[in-house]
Amino acid sequence: MNLIDHKIAEENAIFDAMAPQTGDGFANHATPLIRNCWYVAGRSGEIGRTPLARRLLGVDVVLYRTEAGRPVAMRNRCPHRSFPLAKGRIVGDTLVCGYHGMAFDADGVCAHMPALNRAPASAAVRTFPLTDRGPLTWIWMGPAHLADEALIPALPWLTDPAWGTVTGDYRIKADYVAMHENLIDQTHFPFLHPDTVGTPEYARSKLTAEVEGDQVVIRRILTDAPPPAVYGKPAGIMGKRVTRTSEARFVSPALHRAYAEIIDSSPEPGQPGTYRYHITHVFTPETSSSIHYWWFNSRDLKPGDAGIDSFLHDASSKAYYEDVEALEWIMEVVEQDDEPQFDLSFAPDRPGLMARRIMYRKAMAEVVGGQSPVAS
């Protein structure tokens, strides 16, 4: 063994000795939040020339734009006396603290302190990589050197004019793990969402669940069955029997997306016969027991049709609010019931457990070295 190999072996030994002992497991509300991921910080339109305060992954962040329009995210906490910087004001590209007037530039470095002759060069506030992508602005809360923008998921239907999109948002008092498990579990549809996406046939249809890298995907095909109202009504095919293909994907801790295709094999004249839907669920832990949630329902049928927009917006809001309520009821029980319970799982829970295992491994891999760095 040469000297360099020997030193590397020594370093590895130190590293191994310091690693926490972790078994395998499934993430839940008590698992440390995964930080090495692009999360949505907000809609790009809500970040502007007025400071916007938002707690993301347990950290108070302030969001604004420079004069040139670049989005900026920094800790919402002055390094001097912890005054929330969002209570201050924007001057040029700097954010000026409302307590003693310390000004921080868009890189978070102190540019001016009125009480001193010269700005203290060692004073700075942590900033976070922040990037606009269509209607959303994404933030990286883990170590900045891992913030590869190529990892931001592509969601082309949100900007493509061939697709019509309706959207909404909720703040949910539930954890993001439960939200992911809810979204990849479609066996609850007929019971929690009987009026929108759920049909009795759907609950019993066969699905395949696969792990693809760090993602989990479920697919199912339901033939010769009535469409669910949320898809059938806008297309005007409620009376028909159609083929419904659907895919739901745990993409990352920040994103779940679903794709549905409804095929009417004998369409009325002038009707497309195939109807496609992309459902995009993005959410970001606010804390380990609350999330910011944005949903998007995109269709290739008549983009811009106000009647369909209105119907889909209302139907989606109703369905997702049913999820919100369910998850909040569950969280309330989990947090407040003193008698502990280890939940049972059944065969249909496989996709959810697969996703929770991936989240657990990601979270544990970060416990050693992926802690959020402290800038100052």
Partner 1 sequence: MAETPGRYIDACILGRRDLTERIAEFLIGAADRSPLPPGEAGSHIELRFGGPSGRFLRHYSLVGPLDPQPSPEPFWRIAVQREDRHRGSAFLHATFREGTRLQVSRPIGTFRLSHEPGPVLLVAGGIGITPILPMLRSLHLRNRPFRMFYAGRSRSELAFVEEVEAMGGSSVTVHDAAVAGLPDLTGLLNAQPAGVIVYVCGPGPMIDALRSAAAGLGWDPARIRHEVFNAAHRPSDGPVTVRLRDGREVAVGPGTTILEALEAAGVDTLSDCRRGECGLCATPVRPGAAVIDHRDSYLGPAERAEGRHICVCCSRVAGGATLELDIA
Q: Which residues bind partner 1 (CB under 8 A)?
A: 7, 10-11, 14-15, 17-19, 70, 72, 106-110, 116-118, 120-124, 126-130, 143-150, 366-376
CB of 209 to partner 1, least distance (A): 29
CB of 5 to partner 1, least distance (A): 12
CB of 327 to partner 1, least distance (A): 26
CB of 17 or CB of 347, closer to partner 1: 17
Edge-to-edge strand order for the sheet containing 110-112? 89-91, 94-96, 103-104, 110-112
Helix, strand, or coil here: 30? Answer: coil
CB of 30 or CB of 151, closer to partner 1: 151
SS (H, E, C) 262-323: EECCCCCCCCCCEEEEEEEEEEEEEECCEEEEEEEEEECCCCCCHHHHHHHHHHHHHHHHHH
CB of 45 or CB of 69, closer to partner 1: 69
CB of 128 to partner 1, least distance (A): 8
Phi, psi of 211 (to 5 degrees): -95, 125
CB of 153 or CB of 226, closer to partner 1: 153
CB of 347 to partner 1, least distance (A): 37
Cβ neighbours of residue 307 under 8 Å, at least 6 residues apart? none
CB of 142 or CB of 164, closer to partner 1: 142
CB of 375 to partner 1, least distance (A): 4
User: What single-letter DSSP state applies at residue 145?
Assistant: G
CB of 80 or CB of 313, closer to partner 1: 80
CB of 336 to partner 1, least distance (A): 21
CB of 105 to partner 1, least distance (A): 9
Q: Would you give the distance in Å from CA 49 to the centre of its chain? A: 25
CB of 232 or CB of 285, closer to partner 1: 285
CB of 14 to partner 1, least distance (A): 6
Helix (H) or strand (E) holding 363: helix 350-369
Q: What is the rounded CA–CA span in Å between residue 84 and residue 98? A: 8
CB of 116 to partner 1, least distance (A): 6
CB of 19 or CB of 53, closer to partner 1: 19
Cβ neighbours of residue 299 under 8 Å, at least 6 residues apart? 163, 164, 165, 234, 275, 276, 277, 278, 308, 312
Q: What is the rounded CA–CA span in Å between residue 330 and residue 59? A: 25
CB of 333 or CB of 365, closer to partner 1: 365
User: What single-letter DSSP state applies at residue 107?
Assistant: T
CB of 14 or CB of 53, closer to partner 1: 14
Helix, strand, or coil here: 326? Answer: helix
Q: What is the rounded CA–CA span in Å between residue 276 and residue 299? A: 6
Listing DSSP states for 186-254 in one string gives -TTHHHH-TTTT--HHHHHS-EEEEEETTEEEEEEEEEEEPPPHHHHHHHT-TTS-EEEEEEEEEEETT
Helix, strand, or coil here: 114? Answer: coil
Listing DSSP states for 40-85 in one string gives EEEEGGG-SSS-EEEEETTEEEEEEE-TT--EEEEESS-TTT---G
